[in-house]
Structure 1
Amino acid sequence: AQAERRAAEQQRAALAALLLGQGRSGGQVVELRAPIDGVVLHRFQESAAPVQAGQSLLELGDLRQLEVMVQALSQQAIALRPGSPARILRWGGEGALPARVTRIEPGGFTKVSALGVEEQRTLVWLDITAPRAQWESLGDGYRVEVEFEVGRRPDVLQVPSSALFRDGRRWAVYRVAGGRARLTAVTPGMQGDGATEIVAGLRQGERVVAYPDDRIADGLRVRPLAASP
């Protein structure tokens, strides 16, 4: 421990002598020119100290060319293409910001989710297509949520995603007919935000149980709840 203390003292004395010598030598002031027209995002050197050639001093960025980076699940990224439309949600301002995918990284990485599950993810980059004045308050490293549009179909039959459940190896819902819940096999299609397309098994206008649980069985008598005011 004493040897380590003496070594630290010697290193400190050497650095102090170096700084003192530089101050007395009247060193030449070096002018640093920014390579871009932007703002300082990060300062790597907080106080006066000797620096090595090539050492990073400042990180600069042009916020007018801000990109959005998403750590998407690899199986979800398969459905994306450069140019795919997207929306920036819950970014802190009003409304959603339109965006488009610019590139999908070819390599993935493993990340542990908040539930402790290992997931394979890849980086997806997007450009914000809304006018700069609408999102000029966004900065580097800010948190946003992204919604990708992987398909568009008009006039589809859909039900709340919560109404679907697995019945063995098939998907099913409880259809309400004659005041009773009827177990009905369905074929789901595309999934959206809280809704799922039904390709087969239901017809327009039929009612389904939105939140089925283990107390519901085929043929059980049910009645709709009164609408909230």
Structure 2
Amino acid sequence: MKTKVQWRRQIVFLLIVAAVGWGLYAGFREQPVAVEFGEAVRAPLRVTVEQEGRTRVVDRYVLAAPVDGYARRITLDVGDAVAAGDTLVALEASRSAVLDARRHAEAGARVAAAQANLAAVEQRVKAAEAGAALAAKELERMRKLRASGHVAAEAVDRAAAEDERAGSELRSARFTVATARHELEAARTALGFAAAGGKGEPVLVRAPVAGQVLKIPRKSEGAVESGQPLVEIGDARALEVEVDVLSADAVRIRPGTRVLFERWGGDGALEGRVRVVEPAGFTKVSALGVEEQRVWVIADFASPSETWQRLGDGYRVEASFVLWEGEDVLQVPASALFRDGDGWAAFVVEEGRAVRRRIDTGQRTGLVAEVLAGLKEGERVVVHPDDRLRDGVEVSGR
């Protein structure tokens, strides 16, 4: 019969053996891989192209000296409001320049060309008036159909945007007529001074339209040459946005594409519509010294004018061109996906283990990707999978 000492020694030995066995098991047992988890969720998804842009006045006019002469000091300041017909600069014509017979003939030719240009732009006004009237009727018709439930709200929005665009074109055409009349008056003035031998009253350079002074190249008096810019004016209430985007992104943007203008200084985002994607690109050197091919995209504001009237010419905005959007889209973090042949795959967490599964994806942004097949809402995936992960490996959250 064993004594108490022998029983104690046997128990201690068994405990030592158990501890050694557990240590060997824990040491050689495969440890769970610590990973970060993501989840497949349903949420709105928007695919955009984001670039920095700037505002500019739609119709701006650079008033130049119609003849060689001596300009008196300009009393206006940048930002001053001017009315159509206001005198901006008084110019004393140079006699020696206007008595030349060749310049007399050139002045007569410029008058004829200005008359022809005025007739052409007046026809543009008639066409723009017809387009604006049609757009207004279409908007009214769409609103009635929307009230009766026959069309979607998007059709009304498109009709409203078209009405706004037609109105802008009409205003621009009328400004063009005013400019053409101003050019005709300037040409007649030059011809009149040529016929008078440079004698008579000073040439008065007048504002062709109402607006604000945007730029004055030189305020001081002095000699000027024919065609030299004197004052630049425009209607600061009529703005558009110019954005230069990569040519690879420009091919995905079309006229009518929705734009969101953010971080412009006011509350919320402003909405706009792309009017023109220019057909010619240009080369621009990036901040990293890389040459890039870029394209100018011109967009109009679609938000009510009172929300963006605090903007002026040359103000900075962040433009987001909406290429695609959905309200209820199954999506996962894009960092959970990795290449699997010619497709995509992800490690899905099932009962604490990572299971490799092929995923069919749709639209993608820099952060998330749309899931078309392969995942269900609520399933967890491994974010940023590394080379430690294999199919069936036990995982744990960090």
Which category describes the TM-score, using the shorter chain as reference length?
0.7 to 0.9
| The one of 141, 150, 153 aligned to 2:314 | 141
- Alignment correspondent of 1:128: 301
Q: CA deviation at 1:209?
A: 3.1
Alignment of 1:187-202 (within 5 A): 187-192=360-365, 194-202=367-375
Alignment of 1:1-229 (within 5 A): 28-166=201-339, 169-192=342-365, 194-210=367-383, 212=384, 214=386, 217-218=389-390, 219-224=392-397
**Higher helix proportion, which one?**
2
SS of 1:150 mapped into structure 2: strand
Q: CA deviation at 1:222?
A: 3.6
SS of 1:31 mapped into structure 2: strand
Q: CA deviation at 1:101?
A: 0.6
AA aligned to 2:233 is L
Q: CA deviation at 1:216?
A: 5.1
SS of 1:50 mapped into structure 2: strand
- Alignment correspondent of 1:11: none
Q: CA deviation at 1:67?
A: 0.6
CA distance in 1, matches of 2:389, 2:253: 39
SS of 1:151 mapped into structure 2: strand
In the alignment of these two chains, the number of paired residues is 203
Q: CA deviation at 1:127?
A: 0.4
Larger Cα-atom Rg: 2
Q: Deviations over 1:163-211 (max 9, x none)?
A: 334456543333332223344332321134733212233222212234x
TM-score normalised to structure 1 length: 0.75
TM-score normalised to structure 2 length: 0.45
Q: Deviations over 1:12-37 (max 9, x none)?
A: xxxxxx99xx8xxxx95443222232
- Regions of 4+ moved over 6 Å: none
AA aligned to 1:68 is V
CA distance in 2, matches of 1:38, 1:60: 6
SS of 1:144 mapped into structure 2: strand
Q: CA deviation at 1:99?
A: 0.5
Relative to structure 1, is the Cα distance of residues 109 and 185 closer, same or farther in structure 2, using a 3 angstrom cutoff? farther
Relative to structure 1, is the Cα distance of residues 206 and 67 closer, same or farther in structure 2, using a 3 angstrom cutoff? same
Q: Is the 8 A contact 2:336 2:385 kept in 1?
A: no
Q: CA deviation at 1:154?
A: 4.3
Structure 1 residue runs of 5 or longer lacking an equivalent are 1-17
Q: Deviations over 1:31-66 (max 9, x none)?
A: 322223222222212422211111112222212211
AA aligned to 1:163 is A
Relative to structure 1, is the Cα distance of residues 195 and 34 closer, same or farther in structure 2, using a 3 angstrom cutoff? farther
Q: Is the 8 A contact 1:74 1:122 kept in 2?
A: yes
Q: CA deviation at 1:90?
A: 1.1
Q: CA deviation at 1:151?
A: 2.3
Q: Deviations over 1:130-184 (max 9, x none)?
A: 1111111111111111111222334221123333344565433333322233443
Relative to structure 1, is the Cα distance of residues 114 and 208 closer, same or farther in structure 2, using a 3 angstrom cutoff? farther
SS of 1:39 mapped into structure 2: strand
The percentage of counterpart residues that share the same residue type is 48
Q: CA deviation at 1:96?
A: 0.6
SS of 2:358 mapped into structure 1: strand
Q: Deviations over 1:97-131 (max 9, x none)?
A: 01101011011122233333332211111001111
Q: Is the 8 A contact 1:105 1:122 kept in 2?
A: yes
CA distance in 2, matches of 1:54, 1:206: 70
Relative to structure 1, is the Cα distance of residues 47 and 119 closer, same or farther in structure 2, using a 3 angstrom cutoff? same
